[in-house]
Amino acid sequence: MIESSVDVVNRAGLHTRPAAMLVKIASKFQSEIYLVRDGFSINAKSIIGVMTLAAEQGARLGLTVVGADEQEAANAIKDLFASGFDEP
């Protein structure tokens, strides 16, 4: 199990388009991926779940990954957040 955290860096936050990107990438891995905000944990493969976070720029989310490909999955999710979802 990997426990880490990610920051929302893009200005518009985790709105619908980034949420869809995140879900698409998360769904490529077998591991279970969870994002946690203020103790509220959601499955990163669920679009409604990710949207529920309503994470604005600057928000810090906990990241928990469990599974066979957890290292790759964690890296991919971190890279995605760091890239700001290709947004300013």
Partner 1 sequence: MPSIRTITPHQKDHITVRDVLAGPLRLRSLTDDVGMDNKITDKSMHRPQLALAGYTEFFTFYRVQLFGNTEFYYLNSLTHADRVKAFRNICMFNVPCIILANGHLLENELIDLAREHNVAVLATDYDTTKAIQQLSDFLDDQFAPQLNVHGSFVDVYGVGMLFSGASGIGKSEIALDLVERGHRLVADDIVVFTQKRESILMGTGTSLVKHFMEIRGLGVIDVRQMFGVRAIRFQKRLEIIVELEVFDPDREYNRTGLDESLTSLMGVEIPTIKLPIIPGKNITVISEVIALDYLLKTYGYHASKVMAERLHDEITKRRSSRASTDQRHITYFMGDDE
- Give the residue from 36, 53, 47, 48 showing the smallest Cα distance to 2: 36
**Is residue 15 annotated as part of the catalytic site, yes or no?**
yes
Q: Which parts of 32-61 interact with partner 1 (CB under 8 A)?
A: 37-38, 40, 47, 51-52, 54-59
Check binding of 73 to partner 1 (CB under 8 A): no
Give every CB contact of residue 88 below 8 A, 6+ residues apart in sequence. Answer: 10, 11
In whole angstroms, the minimum distance from the beta carbon of 86 to partner 1 comes to 16
Beta-carbon contacts of residue 11 (< 8 Å; ≥ 6 apart)? 57, 87, 88
Q: Counting contacts by CB under 8 A, is residue 5 touching partner 1?
A: no
Binding interface with partner 1 (CB under 8 A) = 12-17, 19-20, 23-24, 37-38, 40, 47, 51-52, 54-59
